Amino acid sequence: MPFQKIRMHLVVIGGGSVGLLYAARLLLSGHSVELVTRTHVQAKQLTAEGITLHQLDGRQRHTAVRSQPLEVGLPEADLYLLAVKQTDLDEILPYLQRIPPRSRVLALQNGMGHYERFTEFLDRQQCFFASNTEGARRLSPVEVEHTGTGLLRIGPWDVQENADPTCAAFVELANHSGFQAVYEQAIKPFAWRKLLANALINPLTALFEIPNGMLLESPYTIQLMRELFEEAASVANSCGEKIEERDWQEVVKICRNTSRNISSMLQDIRRRNQTEVNAINGYLVQMGRETGQPTPMHETLLRAVLLKTDMVEGKGE
Ligand code: KPL
């Protein structure tokens, strides 16, 4: 389907790094996008000032954007891009319950456990999931830096033979807007692999306070990542996801491609926000318990990140 013929209205929910990046690039390519934020202040600022995007090539681009706060409700859309963290889902999901049956929701969360929560509020055929490895950093409520290229995989959680027309059309729009996007028959296997990457990169960068690429600069951190990978792979394997050597190479590649990125977990800690560690390392620990796979290293990381979050809490920006 050529993108010129695709007319769809998109609503991005979430004014964090991923939400701002997607909204800006889609708008700059001429697509119809509104941005819903969790706070009044950010919505007002975005409507007044637009979004400034710092591109990978060093250029800055600016776009106007229509924005409103979540509490006003959700505008109608063909597709909602849900770019909030796992920890914010409780607040957002009840709003999605009211969307028309023809609308689709694309969940861009890291970690696992959200699939079940989505299906409590929406029909299964409305829920789509993404595995996104694009790097972005929010510089201010109206400014975002694109810090690394990645791949956006979109699809239903479990295998569905026929592609959903709305999500397939969005894949075209995303590619036209400079993202590398693909439609997959099922996202679950990719979500597991992304979980592995996040379970290694995010807590280590958050604890050491370093950009992603620095993890590859020392043999000690590489060895630590490798051991964490093997522990996580055993859990994945016992949950029916066959993890292979090339999946380790993929984690290293994500780290390299987003080398300048400040991981979302480190960004959260710096902003004194809750992190997604429970949905990432916590999920691995829980699945390890359920399947009889020991996860001492992920458990230690989980505790260390929760402790660090507690230590910085209240000293906020
Ligand atoms: O998903 C990410 C995150 O920071 O949450 C990666 C891909 C690791 C980029 O930083």
pLDDT tens string 252-264: 999 999 898 899 9
Specify the pLDDT at position 312. Answer: 84
pTM, two decimal places:
0.91
Average pLDDT over residues 190-201: 97
Query: What is the tens place of the pLDDT at every residue in 197-231?
Result: 999 999 999 999 999 999 999 999 999 999 999 99
Query: What is the tens place of the pLDDT at every residue in 45-88?
Result: 999 999 999 999 999 999 999 999 999 999 999 999 999 999 99
Distance CA 286, CA 295 (A): 9
Q: 1 pLDDT exceeds 80?
A: no
Average pLDDT over residues 164-169: 97
Atom of ligand 1 nearest to the CA of 212: 10
Q: What letter does residue 38 receive in the DSSP assignment?
A: S
Atom of ligand 1 nearest to the CA of 197: 8
Give helix 245-257 / helix 188-208 axis angle, nearest 10°. 50
Specify the pLDDT at position 315. Answer: 57
Neighbours of 130 (CB within 10 A): 25
Contact 12, 34 (CB under 8 A): yes
Ligand 1 centroid to residue 2 C-alpha, Å: 31
Catalytic residue from among 188, 194, 242, 253: 194
Does residue 194 have an active-site annotation?
yes
- The dihedral built from the CA positions of residue 79, 80, 83 and 89, taken in this order, carries a sign that is negative
Specify the pLDDT at position 3. Answer: 56
Specify the pLDDT at position 266. Answer: 96
Specify the pLDDT at position 185. Answer: 96
- What residue owns the CA closest to ligand 1's atom 5? 264
Tokens standing for residue 92? 């957002």
- What residue owns the CA closest to ligand 1's atom 4? 263
Specify the pLDDT at position 316. Answer: 46
Specify the pLDDT at position 317. Answer: 44
Distance CA 2, CA 12 (A): 23
Instruction: For ligand 1, say whether the CB of 275 is within 6 Å of any of its atoms.
Output: no
Q: 313 pLDDT exceeds 80?
A: no
Q: What percent of the chain has pLDDT over 90?
A: 91
Average pLDDT over residues 16-39: 97
Query: What is the tens place of the pLDDT at every residue in 94-133?
Result: 999 989 999 999 999 999 999 999 999 999 999 999 999 8
Atom of ligand 1 nearest to the CA of 201: 8
Partner residues linked to 34 by β-bridges: 11, 66
**Taking all residues of the chain, what is their mean pLDDT, rounded to a whole number?**
95
